[in-house]
């Protein structure tokens, strides 16, 4: 079952084509990474999914429910944790969750046990009467997640869920997200921490200039592109010689995997200059390297 299906999505602003024919599917149970540089069309795509942006062309379905025609069903299935804090300033912490459930059609009497559970899980039970402005950054982040989960969504959309939190909380959030994903909640995650995507997401989609430029299993994306390199460390600076796929950077020489057959040429070049090789190591590119290369940043 597809948790989210986006087909040929187009969205334009005056003079700007923000989303240009984006299509991708998120399968039920996926932990899906959605990457893109600023202004790539990532947030606009997500806003089209959650109903904050109108789109001129395309189809969006959430667990088979059209997000325009069956908007009530589609939206009930989604939980959203936005990057910016947008809590109601007139509500205390407990009421933030109670009222959120109310907007999703769940009355206070029914939701209270879940509210108590979430407050406990996110270590906010001691602050339930407090105004959100008095919470620390980490607590606000936890409240954002609790609010997104209060109505038990099947698809959780997280926009930079660990932005501005310390390492300890970041790891705690990773652990919690991995746990709820195991329990069956499909997660769509955008993050500027690419290692976070690499660590958590089984699939990754990269968008740039409003178009999908890569969409695969995260592992495949890292393996198949084979964009690793060999690093050769020398005892002194070598003369620069023009060899394809080879970069001379002082005492370090980089031979990209595409030019592996040039390694002999490099060693011969070093030998002629009587330069000693101190170390040779093979480096596999991270998702971050791939992301930067694909988006030409």
Partner 1 sequence: MNWTALLTLIKRENLRTIKIINQVIWPPIISSLLYIFIFGFSLGKNFEVGEVSYLAFLVPGLIMMNIIMSSFDESSSSLFLGKFINYIQELLIAPMSYLELVLGFLFGSILRAFVIANLILLVFVFFIDVGVQHIGLYLYFTFFVSLFFASIGLIVALWAEKFDHLAILNTFFITPLLFFGGVFHSIKLLPEFFQKISLINPLFYMIDGFRFSMLGTSDGDVFTSMFVVLALALVAFFYTLYLFRSGYKLKQ
271: left (phi over 0), alpha (psi -120 to 50) or beta: alpha
Tokens standing for residue 108: 């206070």
Residue 35's DSSP bridge partners are: 206
Nearer to partner 1, 44 or 181 (CB): 44
The nearest distance, CB 54 to partner 1, in angstroms, is: 5
Tokens standing for residue 184: 């069956």
Query: Which range, of 42-50, 119-127, 199-207, 263-271, touches partner 1 by CB under 8 A?
Result: 42-50
- 104 touches partner 1 (CB under 8 A): yes
The nearest distance, CB 143 to partner 1, in angstroms, is: 13
Nearer to partner 1, 42 or 203 (CB): 42
The nearest distance, CB 85 to partner 1, in angstroms, is: 8
Nearer to partner 1, 83 or 295 (CB): 83
- Give the integer Cα–Cα distance in Å for 84 and 161: 10
CB 186 within 8 A of CB 32: yes
The nearest distance, CB 107 to partner 1, in angstroms, is: 5
* Site map 237..256 versus partner 1, x via CB under 8 A: --------------------
With CA atoms as reference, report the closest residue to 146 among 168, 115, 167. Answer: 115
Residues of this chain, 44-103, that bind partner 1 according to CB under 8 A: 44, 47, 50-54, 71-73, 75-76, 78, 80, 82, 84, 86-91, 99-100, 102-103
Q: How many residues bind partner 1 (CB under 8 A)?
A: 31
Task: Quote the Cα angle for 195-34-114, to 5°.
Answer: 90
The nearest distance, CB 179 to partner 1, in angstroms, is: 25
Q: Work out the burial of residue 156: count CB atoms within 10 Å of its CB; fewer than 13 is exposed, 13-18 middle, 19 or more buried.
A: buried
Indicate the helix (H) or strand (E) that contains 190. Answer: strand 186-190
CB 66 within 8 A of CB 95: no
With CA atoms as reference, report the closest residue to 92 among 128, 119, 135. Answer: 128
Q: Site residues (CB under 8 A) for partner 1?
A: 13, 44, 47, 50-54, 71-73, 75-76, 78, 80, 82, 84, 86-91, 99-100, 102-107
């Amino acid at each position: 079952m597809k948790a989210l299906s986006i087909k040929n999505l187009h969205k334009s602003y005056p003079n700007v084509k923000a989303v240009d024919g984006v299509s991708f599917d998120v399968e039920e149970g996926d932990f899906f990474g959605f990457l893109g540089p600023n202004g790539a069309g990532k947030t606009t795509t997500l806003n089209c999914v959650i109903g904050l942006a109108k789109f001129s062309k395309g189809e969006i379905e959430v667990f088979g429910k059209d997000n325009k025609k069956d908007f009530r069903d589609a939206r009930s299935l989604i939980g959203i944790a936005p990057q910016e804090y947008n809590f109601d300033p007139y509500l205390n912490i407990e009421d933030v969750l109670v009222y959120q459930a109310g907007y999703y059609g769940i009355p206070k009497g029914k939701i209270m046990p879940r509210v108590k559970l979430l407050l406990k899980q996110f270590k906010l039970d001691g602050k339930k009467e407090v105004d959100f402005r008095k919470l620390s950054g980490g607590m606000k982040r936890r409240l954002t997640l609790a609010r997104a989960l209060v109505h038990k969504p099947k698809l959780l959309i997280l926009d930079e869920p660990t932005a501005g939190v310390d390492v300890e909380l970041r790891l705690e959030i990773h652990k919690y997200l991995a746990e709820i994903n195991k329990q069956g909640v499909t997660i769509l995650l955008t993050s500027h921490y690419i290692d976070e995507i690499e660590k958590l997401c089984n699939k990754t989609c990269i968008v740039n200039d409003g178009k999908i430029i890569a969409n695969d299993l995260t592992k495949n994306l890292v393996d198949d592109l084979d964009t690793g390199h060999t690093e050769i460390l020398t005892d002194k600076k070598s003369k620069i010689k023009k060899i394809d796929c080879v970069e001379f950077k002082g005492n370090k020489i980089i031979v990209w995997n595409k030019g592996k057959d040039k390694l002999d040429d490099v060693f011969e070049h070093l030998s002629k200059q009587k330069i000693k090789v101190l170390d040779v190591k093979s480096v596999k590119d991270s998702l971050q390297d791939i992301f930067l290369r694909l988006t030409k940043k």
